Amino acid sequence: MRLLVTGGCGFIGSNFVRFVLEHYQPEFVTNVDALTYAGNPENLAGIAEKYAGRYEFHRADIADAAAMDAILSKHKYFAIVNFAAETHVDRSIDSPENFVHTNVVGTQVLLDLARKHGVKRFVQISTDEVYGSLGETGRFSETSPIDPSSPYSASKAGADMLALAAFKTFGQEVVITRCSNNYGPYQFPEKLIPLMITRALRDQKLPVYGDGLNVRDWIHVEDHCRAVTAAMLEGKPGEVYNVGADSEMRNIDVVKLILETLGKPDSLIEYVADRPGHDRRYAIDSLKIRAELDWKPIHRAQDGIRETIQWYVANRAWWEPILARG
């Protein structure tokens, strides 16, 4: 069985490639990544050698139909797993057109080519951000209204709608996963947890938006990869599966956990002006995937975040060159 993984040099995609190759022999993986700023070949250092004959890489933009058609012509694929996306909310506010190009146009190109080449499954990796913001209570379920707040989440919502339309119109075996905030190894250091870790390690100020009381539901990237695999293999076509670990934490508490673990003072915290459209709270109801696909998270957030901190401490050679490039 061969998988086409798009965005496989990014944070979640590279962890998924590692997970599949390690746990699901003899699966073959074709990794396609445009290697934009967050796509880092070092995320998969040694993989081609370790899994020789089971892994290949192509540099391409998923919105380039000709390039993707050529790649899909080389093998018979069981599934496309689409991690490729522009994901940073702040960047989407500055340059929304990049998010439409990759997240919307790129997804449509992949859906069209999957049908053309007889790809059995299409797994669209989405986000809980498509649901917008919650109040102090409640959780997002798969039937919650779509109400995106940023160009990023709007582009992901658009991609989801295209995927579901492909199921309804063409009978394409599409499955969508919507996951809460991920953490773990190889996350680009613009996101909250790696940003705070790397700045604290250099005794720099830690910028916290607004009052720091925004709440996120945190999940270890390995738990997410296990959920995606379950959805790919066992998910019902045309269905959406929410993926969460029941691990809500306020942003300021995450930051203070990082400082405590590193033995750094709270005086490094610097509150800054909130960003536009900043959702107050996310929380995921993942009962559906737990019941239907027998999935559950195995990492506790506080323990997993501490393990992640130690990974960044031990892997300065990975993140310092990224920061040096600006």
- Quick: pLDDT tens for 300-319: 999 999 999 999 999 999 99
Report the relative pairing of strands 2-6 and 28-33 from DSSP bridges. Answer: parallel
The predicted structure's pLDDT at residue 290 = 98
pLDDT (mean) for 98-121: 97
Ramachandran angles phi, psi of 126, nearest 5°: -110, -155
pLDDT (mean) for 181-185: 97
pLDDT (mean) for 53-66: 97
pTM: 0.95
Alpha helices in the chain (DSSP H): 11-23, 47-50, 65-72, 89-94, 96-99, 106-116, 151-170, 192-201, 221-234, 251-262, 287-293, 301-314, 316-325
Contact 233, 301 (CB under 8 A): no
Three-state DSSP class for 123? strand
Residues carrying an active site annotation:
128-129, 152
Structure tokens at 83: 């991690």
Whole-number mean pLDDT of the chain? Answer: 96
Name the helix (H) or strand (E) containing 220.
Answer: strand 215-220
DSSP 284: B
pLDDT greater than 80 at residue 148 = yes
- Quick: pLDDT tens for 251-268: 999 999 999 999 999 999
Q: Which distant-in-sequence residues (6+ apart) come within 8 Å of 35 by Cβ? A: 9, 41, 59
Ramachandran angles phi, psi of 124, nearest 5°: -95, 115
Contact 107, 159 (CB under 8 A): yes
Contact 199, 309 (CB under 8 A): no
First to last CA, the chain: 39
Q: Which domains does the chain have, with CATH numbers?
A: 2-187+218-246+277-300 (3.40.50.720)
Q: What percent of the chain shows pLDDT beyond 90?
A: 91
Categorize the per-residue pLDDT at 210 as very low, low, confident or very high, splitting at 50, 70 and 90.
Answer: very high
The predicted structure's pLDDT at residue 136 = 85
Radius of gyration of the chain (CA): 19
Contact 63, 33 (CB under 8 A): no
The predicted structure's pLDDT at residue 267 = 98
Contact 289, 222 (CB under 8 A): no
Q: Which residues of 221-248 are buried (b: 16+ CB within 10 A; e: fewer)?
A: bbbbbbbbbbbbeebeebbbbbbbbbbb
The predicted structure's pLDDT at residue 238 = 98
- Quick: pLDDT tens for 222-253: 999 999 999 999 999 999 999 999 999 999 99
The predicted structure's pLDDT at residue 160 = 98
